[in-house]
Structure 1
Amino acid sequence: AEKLPEIMNDSVCPVDAKEELLRECENIWKEMEKCQSKLTLLTAETMPDSDAKVSLLLTRMQALRAEYYQWQKRNPELISTNPEVLLLLGEEELQRVKKELEIVLSAVQSKNEKLKEDLEREQQWRDEQEQILYTFREVEEEMKKEAVTDSEKRVFQELKNQMSELKEYKKKLMNALGEFLEEHFPLPEKNGNAKKKKYSEKPSEQLLTMHEILEFYLPQHVLKFSILVFQVLLNQLICTPHEPYVTVDDSFWPPYLELLLRSGIVLRHPEDPNRIRLEAFHE
Structure 2
Amino acid sequence: MTDLSAARRFLASSFDQDHQHQSTNSEKAEKQLKMEIKEQWLKLNKLHDKLLQETCLGSVKNPECTMLQISEAKEQRLQAEVDIMKKSLPSLITPNSEVIEAVLLTSLQSSTDQLKQTLSVVKTQRRELVEETERERKLLGQHMEVKASLEQKLEAERKEPGKPASSRLKSLEEKKRRGLEEQQRLMRNLGQFVLKHYPLPGPEFSRKRKLSGKSTKGDGNDDGEDQYLPLLNILEGLMNKSTSTEEYDPYLEITSDLWPPYVEMLLRCGIAKRHPEDSNRICMTAFHI
Larger radius of gyration: 1
* Higher RCO (C-alpha under 8 Å, 6+ residues apart): 1
